[in-house]
Amino acid sequence: MTYDIAIVGGGIVGLATGRELLARHPHLKLALLEKDDALAAQQTGHNSGVIHSGIYYKPGSLKAKLCVEGRKALWAYCDAKQIPYKNVGKLIVATEERELPLLEDLYQRGLANGIDNLKIIDAAGIAEREPHCRGIKAIDSPVTGIVDYGVVARSYAQDILEAGGIIETGSEVSAIERRAPVSIVHGSKGDVEAKYVITCGGLQSDRLAKMTGGHGDPKIVPFRGDYLILKPEKRYLVKGNIYPVPDPSFPFLGVHFTPRMNGDVWLGPNAVLAFAREGYSFTTINVGDLFETLTYSGFIKLAGKYLSTGMGEMYRDVVRGAYVKALQRYIPELKVEDTLPGPSGVRAQAMMGDGSLVDDFVFDGDEGVVHVRNAPSPAATSSLAIGRYVADDADKRFGLGMTAAIV
C-alpha cells in the first residue's frame, strides 16, 4: 500500500504531528515509523516532566510562541483526556546581587511573551513559597506545572490509531529515496512508500535530513544530563520547581529542583558531552557517534570557548559532593546523604559549524518532505502547538486539503 504521509519518529513531536494531521484530514493514509521497540523511548521518555511557562525564550521566537500556545493546549488536552497533571509553580531564584539585573531582564521577557500572573518576590516571599530555599529575589511563575510525558505521548498514539493511522515500532529508517511523485522510506522492517514524508527524529534529526539532501547544519551534538533524587524522607525540602537565573557564561540552564508526578524530586541536571547519541550513562560509548562529534568544527569551537565551565560540569558528574554543593546554593541544608543516584537524559543540541548553539526550533523541507530539525526543550510542553505548526507547513507544501488519498 502507498501511504499519503509517512512520519519518521515516534517521540512526542512525531506523535503530536500525526494526530493533528489525521484530525484535520481524516481521509489520509498515515504511517508512523519508530526505530525503538517502544514509543517515546528517547528524549520524551527521559525528560523532567515540566510543563514550561515559556519565560526563558526570546520574544517573537518560535520557542516563545509555541511554548505558550502549547502549554495552554496541553492543559486542555490533559483535562479532556483525564491525564493527571499539577500546577506546582516555579521560582527562578537569584542568590547574589549580580544576578538581579538578569532576573529583571528575564521578568520583562516573560511579560513580553504573555506569561500569566508573573511577579517578583523578595526573600520573605521566597521563604513563604519554599521554606527551605534561600535567595534575595525570585520570579514567581504560577503557571509552570508537571506531567508524565510518557502518558501524554501514549495518549497521542491512541488518537492516531483511533483515527485509522498505522504505528510501526522497531522500524529503523536507513534511507529516504525520492521517486517523484512518491518517496521510498527504507526501514528495518521493510520499505514504506508514501507520497510525503515528515521527519521528527530528535537525536537523529540531522541524519534524517541528510538522507533527503538536506544541509549538514544544524548538526546534533548530544549532551547528557544526570540527575540526583531526593530521598523520600527529604522530599519536604521542595514544594515546587526551583530554578536558577540563567548564567550567560554557560549555554545550559544549570541545576534545579523538579518534583515529579510520582512524588519523587529530581535534582539537576548537569550537562556533559554524551559519548553516544543515545548515551544515557557514562559508560555508554558509540565510537562512530563520538568521533563525529569530536571532529565537528562547531563542537571544537564550543569546547574551546567553554573549556573551564565544561570541566567543572564533568567534575560534578563524578564527584557527588561537588554536585550537591551547587544545589546547596538554593537549599543550604541539603546534604550529600540526602540524595540518591537518579536517571539521565540526553539533549539533542543543534549546533552550527561556527560553534554557535541553535536556540530556537528549526523546521525546513524540500520536495515531498518536511523536517523537524531542532526541537529540544520545551518541545514536550509545545508538542500540540508544534504539531499544528508542522501540519500547517505540510498543508502548504503538500496541498493536503486539495489532494485525495492515494489508493
Integer Cα distance of 62 and 334 in angstroms? 37
Cis peptide upstream of residue 218 (ω within 30 degrees of 0) = yes
Sorted by where each starts, the structural domains of the chain and their CATH numbers stand as 2-45+150-216+360-402 (3.50.50.60), 90-142 (no CATH), 219-357 (3.30.9)
Check whether 346 has a pLDDT greater than 50: yes
Closest of 81, 142, 172, 74 to residue 386, by C-alpha: 74
Q: Which three cell numbers stand for residue 174?
A: 536507513
How much is the pTM?
A: 0.95
The per-residue pLDDT of the chain, averaged, comes to 94
Model confidence pLDDT, tens digit, residues 261-286 = 999 999 999 889 999 999 999 999 99
Check whether 403 has a pLDDT greater than 60: no
Model confidence pLDDT, tens digit, residues 152-196 = 999 999 999 999 999 999 999 999 999 999 999 999 999 999 999
Integer Cα distance of 51 and 151 in angstroms? 14
**Residues 235 and 401 sit within 8 Å (Cβ to Cβ):** no
Return the bridge partners of 370, or none. 198, 365
Check whether 252 has a pLDDT greater than 80: no
Between CA 56 and CA 64, with CA 62 as vertex, the angle to 5 degrees is 30
Phi then psi dihedrals of residue 291, to 5 deg = -60, -40
